[in-house]
Amino acid sequence: MPKKKRAESPAPEDLCEGGKCIGVVFEDHRQPVYAVAFWPGASDEPMVAVCGSNRASVYAIAEGDIELRQVYVDNDRDESFFCCAWSRRADAPLLCVAGTRGIAKIVDCADGRLDCALVGHGNAINDCCFHAVDESLLLTASKDESIRLWNARTCVCIAVFAGDRGHRDEVLAVDCHQSGSCCLSSGMDNTIKLWQLDAEHVAKACERSHTNPQPANHRPFETVFEQFPAFSTSRVHANYVDCARWVGSLILSKSTAERLCLWSPDPQRNERLPAPLLSETNDDSEPKDDVLIVHELDLPGADIWFLRFGMCSSRQYVCAGNTSGDLVIYDVDSTEQKASLTHPKMRGAVRQCAFSPDSSLVACVGDDAGLFVYELDK
């Protein structure tokens, strides 16, 4: 079990701009920690989960201390968790963890037990997120080139998004739109795809997963297979797209080109172009792939993949790290840099960042097995 530690010495003030480090702890397995997520519910003390190796740890942050509250250790020593996400059931916190084995496991943090294990992917799960409206629904992105939609309450697979027009390589990221009407995915095939969750056949399957998860005829639940995304493009990035998130109706994504890109799907572009300009476009291009780049944010040193950024709950600010352990926070709308954070003990790549629910704290994890928590200036 990871040792309970008090916050270690903060970084010298001159290393941070716009905030300060208030605590550092290291997981004693000393393996890379790939995922971090704050409990989004109301709490007297901010709670944050981290995942690495075959462990998930939950810490409380109070008065400059980082206190270990719970640890989930998988029985499979060869498991390695890559992602985690929070949900709730009757106000009880649920933590989803998933990784190498391709099994999404839901841990009931109130009772300290495994609630369910969602089995179906044929390879590792790289990312997961809960539905923005229905907190029982879970999306997972896998190395098996598919995205799956699950009902975590009834333990059924509602839909599989893969096939003819699906991803051609590992799916690295998935995110649900705030309205719950669609989700995006991105992967090693350099593409970002949008999938409709409010399509009639998917919506009906979601309803059945609640009302009739086990049909009376004892047949398995009828999972929907969707092969055609509503939108797909490879025009934003020229390499793996390892992280992508909704920002209202826009999308913020990153690859290995040391930049974040804010853009919008623009399938009607050709309809707006004057005839002379339209004739000059590539005849092989497909209008449904068109995008409108809004602006880009510099991210020096982020030239490897699986460095995932985090966004605050309002999607106004983004925090991202690099291979040297440095963090930068931008205002997504104005492109203004709000903070630059670092710590001398952070010696490896920053694998993921997360904001606390009130956006006053930022946590990051990385290759050195550490959890670093920063308090932002008001």
CB 51, CB 34: distance < 8 Å: yes
247/268 Cα distance (integer angstroms) = 20
| Residue with the two structure tokens 């449904």 | 288
183/177 Cα distance (integer angstroms) = 6
How high is the pLDDT of residue 198? 97
**pTM: predicted TM-score of the whole model, two decimal places:** 0.91
Q: What angle do CA 13, 48, 346 make, to 5 degrees?
A: 40
How high is the pLDDT of residue 67? 95
Per-residue pLDDT of the chain (378 residues; tens, 9 = 90+): 444 444 455 545 557 899 999 999 999 999 999 999 999 987 789 999 999 999 999 999 987 789 999 999 999 999 999 999 999 998 899 999 999 999 999 999 999 999 999 999 999 999 999 999 999 999 999 999 999 999 999 999 999 999 999 999 999 999 999 999 999 999 999 999 999 999 999 999 999 999 988 877 778 899 999 999 999 999 999 999 999 999 999 999 999 999 999 999 986 655 544 544 444 444 344 446 789 999 999 999 999 999 999 999 999 999 999 999 999 999 999 999 999 999 999 989 999 999 999 999 999 999 999 999 999 998
Q: What is the pLDDT of residues 343-353, one digit of tens each?
A: 999 989 999 99
185/173 Cα distance (integer angstroms) = 5
State CA 127 to chain mean position distance.
6
Torsion angle, alpha carbons of 330, 336, 338, 343, to 10 = 60
User: Of 74, 130, 131, which is closest to residue 100 (Cα–Cα)?
Assistant: 74
Handedness of CA 83, 365, 249, 263 (dihedral sign): negative
CB count in 10 Å sphere of residue 142: 28
31/78 Cα distance (integer angstroms) = 12
Q: What share of the chain is helix, strand, coil (3-state, %, to 5)?
A: 5, 45, 45
Superfamily designation of domain 13-376: YVTN repeat-like/Quinoprotein amine dehydrogenase (2.130.10.10)
346/350 Cα distance (integer angstroms) = 8
376/378 Cα distance (integer angstroms) = 6
129/352 Cα distance (integer angstroms) = 14
User: DSSP state, 57?
Assistant: E
369/29 Cα distance (integer angstroms) = 8
How high is the pLDDT of residue 2? 46
CB 367, CB 27: distance < 8 Å: no
CB neighbour list of residue 140: distance below 8 Å, 6 or more residues apart: 98, 104, 118, 121, 125, 127, 128, 147, 148, 150, 174
Burial category of 260 from C-beta neighbours within 10 Å (exposed 0-12, middle 13-18, buried 19 and up): buried
How high is the pLDDT of residue 13? 53
Q: What is the pLDDT of residues 291-312, one digit of tens each?
A: 999 999 999 999 999 999 999 9
How high is the pLDDT of residue 217? 72
Task: Give the CA count within 13 Å in the CB-facing half-sphere of 257.
Answer: 15
